[in-house]
Structure 1
Amino acid sequence: MDRRPLIGVSTYLVDASWSDWRGRRVALLPERYTAQVRDSGGIAVPLPPDVPERAPEVLARLDGLVIAGGPDIDPAYYGEPAHPATEVDSPERDAWEVALLRSALAAGMPLLAVCRGMQVLNVVCGGTLVQHLPDVVPVDVHGGSPGCYGSHLVRPVPGTLLGGLLPESELEVPTFHHQAVDRVGAGLRVSAHAPDGTVEAVEGPGFALGVQWHPEQGDDLRLMRALVRAATAAVLDAMALG
């Protein structure tokens, strides 16, 4: 293969300020995502919210997909009213990422879903979410603090895709979330837990992996490198068939 795989990365849609500009609506992506894709051998392509019906067309030009972290998905997607702590502020992003994930799963495209991304993946597969973890865990170690990531241990499940990529019995990861998987979506299986029982990773057929933590905030490239390898292998398979 004579080119690096193209990895689409979904973006935030927020009001931001910079230089002389204040409160402008921007499609924003933390640089750590694109750096990890680059350092893992891929080329990152930011995917700002678009018309959901265009998702298959967009993905047809890419080799892999990352769904980035961010605010909460609207609980209407899984048939529940919003908890007072649920933060819903980007319906365009919700609709776009749901469409991206549905199209990627249908096409068997390698994908990595991070934090919010894992939650959206679970919802797309028919699962539900715990809308506020502090309501259900005795000590909240998941949320970090305003503007700062926290950290806690996760325990990969042996025999899973994630367990093969991260063979340690437990490892410490960067974290910042207040929601988590409740009912696991159809076709997904749990592949990591926190010590308090919180679901920390899910995976589906092929290379469809969601992690509740933020691997892009650390120095461990194993998950992103695995995504890029899977994307490269998919391209080579398609070339062989073509």
Structure 2
Amino acid sequence: MRPVIGITTYVESATWGVWTDLPTALIPQDYVAAVNAAGGRAVLLPPDDLDADVVGVLDGLVLSGGADVGPELYGAQAGPRTVTRPERDSGELMLARAALAGDLPVLGVCRGIQLLAVAAGGALHQHLPDVLGHERHQPAPATYGRQEVTFVAGSRLSGLMGDDRGVHCYHHQGVADAGSLTVAARAGDGLIEAVEDPGKRFVLGVQWHPEVVRDKRIFGAFVEAASGRR
């Protein structure tokens, strides 16, 4: 039986067929395809902050991308360019903390790495151009930024990625403080690009989008760790 991988969903206004601008729980198909290609069974997790019981029936958890994490969750006030989805934050933070406490394999992507950092007691930069002085992490609407990252020697991620340092990302926020997590990669401008927890079965957050290229190194290692839960 394939490992069951929960993927958190976006909540956005969507239009299809005759239906217009409906609040919708959705996810880009790339996430599902990347999980399937790695041997997992994807199930979608709409926002739900009543409890985190679903962690008990999952073999792994993907914290997906999307809108900004609410700054109040790391003790800050929202800046003028911060756009949040509170209905996602409360439920996903609960899921992330339950998964970490239960040693459930977790993969955080883009917003997901930021949520992992907040769950681990860290904090975020709310608008990178204000901090870094450039927009290379999000060069234009719907345009990925190309980055060369440096992996920390001895990290799990370094072992997975080898000499391939090119990634593509799309984000205007970033991890300022990884909390109890370990930094596994940085961009050339010094920004944290990946975090992990070497004391857990598998906890990895990346600021880029490995699902778009079906990166079997990352998704394969994640699903393999999830397979060991059975």
Q: Same fold (TM over 0.5)?
A: yes
Gapped regions of structure 2 (runs ≥ 5): none
Partner of 1:178: 172
- 15-24 vs 134-143, which deviates more? 134-143
Give me the whole-angstrom Cα distance separating, in 2, the residues matched to 1:71 and 1:92.
11
Partner of 1:22: 20
Give me the whole-angstrom Cα distance separating, in 2, the residues matched to 1:6 and 1:201.
24
SS in 2 for 1:14: strand
Q: CA deviation at 1:234?
A: 2.2
Find out whether 1:110 has 2:133 as its counterpart. no
Gapped regions of structure 1 (runs ≥ 5): 236-242
Find out whether 1:54 has 2:47 as its counterpart. no
Find out whether 1:82 has 2:75 as its counterpart. no
**Cα RMSD (Å):** 1.1
Find out whether 1:65 has 2:58 as its counterpart. no
Partner of 1:198: 191
Partner of 2:10: 12
SS in 1 for 2:229: helix
Partner of 1:39: 37
Give me the whole-angstrom Cα distance separating, in 1, the residues matched to 2:220 and 2:92.
22
Partner of 2:93: 98
Matching residue's letter, 1:23 = D
Find out whether 1:130 has 2:125 as its counterpart. yes
Give me the whole-angstrom Cα distance separating, in 1, the residues matched to 2:214 and 2:126.
29
SS in 2 for 1:178: coil
TM-score, structure 1 normalization: 0.91
Matching residue's letter, 2:17 = S
TM-score, structure 2 normalization: 0.96
Distance change (3 Å), C-alpha of 1:162 and 1:91: same
Matching residue's letter, 1:148 = T
Structure 1 residue runs of 4 or more that deviate by more than 4 Å after TM superposition:
none
Number of residue pairs the alignment of both structures matches:
228
